Amino acid sequence: MKRVVFLILIMVFVFLFTPFRTMSLAEGTASDLNFSDDLDLSSNCCYLVSLDTGRVIYEKNADVRVAPASTTKIMTAALALSLVDDPASVIVTLPEDLWVEFQNIDISHAGLLANEELTLEQLLHCMLLQSANEAASGIASYFGREEFIQQMNEKAISLGCTNTHFTNPHGLYDSNHYTSAKDLFTITEWAMSIPMFNEIIEKSYYILAETNLNYEKTIVTSVLMQDSSSRYFTSYIKGGKTGTLEESGRCLVSIAEKNNMRLCLVLLGCPLQSSNAVWEDGNSVFTETRLIYDWIFTNVVVGEAITRDTIVTQIPINYSPKKDTLILYSGEYLMALLRRNSGITPLIDYELDIPESIDAPIEKGQKIGTAKVYVDGIYIGDISLVSFEDVEFSLFLKLISKLGLALKSKPALIIYVSVTSIILLYFLYLFIIVKGAKRRHNRYNQGR
């Protein structure tokens, strides 16, 4: 007996004083997508999102306020597009003082001139592809510069951005002009929902037709990863916007598509100096973008975590003559990012929102409730829960059930007590009457 007690005490001691070890994704789950240990990232801020599933794959300093440089033009372009019906029919005359704010500053430009007439569509191409600062300024002036910048800030707030403030439409440095990697993704996601935005940023070049002051010229994208003639060309890059300032470092928002996956990556604050991690003497933000995407496309797949025949749970049925419970299935497909060839089955959990029971009749395909789905502890989306069969209704069972409930109700209880009391009183009355009659009978017999 003493030996058993001694062993138990040792086990308790080990349990209490051995540090708990929580298994991280890197230690082996199907959703292990952490590449930060494999790659030496140089960017100050990073935010990587699956556009297919909405999952945030990786983030680093995602809420830190930083100078966005020319990635500002994503907001400028999307807002301008949202304010007009047909950008090709809107004629903009660039202001007389177009170049005043850029004096003695080395900027990216498209060689546009004061009083030059262009369509809004042409200016958007100059701004988004060649990162032309004078085009951004001209667009803001067309709508009223101060009013337009105010609308940029109002739109950022309406999108839920909490670390963003704009003081200009192009992104030249200002201490009060900032955003974060997470906010910039939010802005980009909204921009991609605006007609024409994606069409423009996917191009590698654009032929700018002759204007009243300029000959025809070719506008080339600053995202050299999209330029097939550049050594930086990367075939899966499907759009983006660069930004570079001494105060911001190299920045890039990019969209990539490969292996049935669509991703958006925001990198801010990459070093200005070159890096040869991918290309010899390569641009640091292009190098880092390529490293991250290549890791994802090599190690990650989009798989069906939930299908329409996935059994989720079951629920009791009322008033059915043949079934006591109903199996609930997922009403839709739900995709998840999974580690390629991990050999590990993902752990799927549900947060259910269903009633305690369901009344017959039930139709096939009827929605019964919903569920939040988690894969390896990571929320991936909501599904509806449906019946895959018809369930008959029994009026007799319903009546019996209602009768049973009625008999359990407070009014019924009062009736029970009242009737029982009356019966008891009645029997007491009979007992007294009978007993009195017996006494009289006995007295009568004794008198005889």
Q: 110-124, pLDDT tens digit by residue? A: 999 999 999 999 999
Q: Taking the model in full, what pTM does it have?
A: 0.78
Q: Which two tokens stand for residue 192?
A: 């991609």
Residue 174: is its pLDDT beyond 80?
A: yes
Q: What angle do CA 375, 330, 314 make, to 5 degrees?
A: 100
Quickly state the pLDDT bin for 307 (edges 50, 70, 90): confident
Start-end of H helices in 168-308 = 181-191, 197-201, 284-299
Distances from the Cα of 380 to the Cαs of 21, 316, 343, 374, in angstroms? Answer: 25, 28, 20, 6
Q: What percent of the chain has pLDDT over 90?
A: 59
Q: Are strands 334-339 and 367-375 parallel, antiparallel or unpaired?
A: unpaired
Q: What is the pLDDT of residue 7?
A: 40
Q: Which range among 227-236, 313-322, 331-340, 432-441 shows the weakest confidence by mean pLDDT?
A: 432-441
How many Cβ atoms sit within 10 Å of the Cβ of residue 369?
17
Q: What is the pLDDT of residue 192?
A: 98
Quick one: which of 255, 249, 243, 267 has its CA closest to 45? 267
360: Cβ contacts below 8 Å, ≥ 6 apart? 317, 318, 319, 320, 391, 392, 393, 394
Residue 375: is its pLDDT beyond 90?
A: no
Model confidence pLDDT, tens digit, residues 62-108: 999 999 999 999 999 999 999 999 999 999 999 999 999 999 999 99
Model confidence pLDDT, tens digit, residues 208-226: 999 999 999 999 999 999 9
Quickly state the pLDDT bin for 22 (edges 50, 70, 90): very low
State the Cα–Cα distance between residues 383 and 313, nearest whole angstrom. Answer: 13
What residue ranges define each of the domains in the chain, with the CATH number in brackets?
A: 27-32+39-302 (3.40.710.10), 307-393 (2.60.410.10)
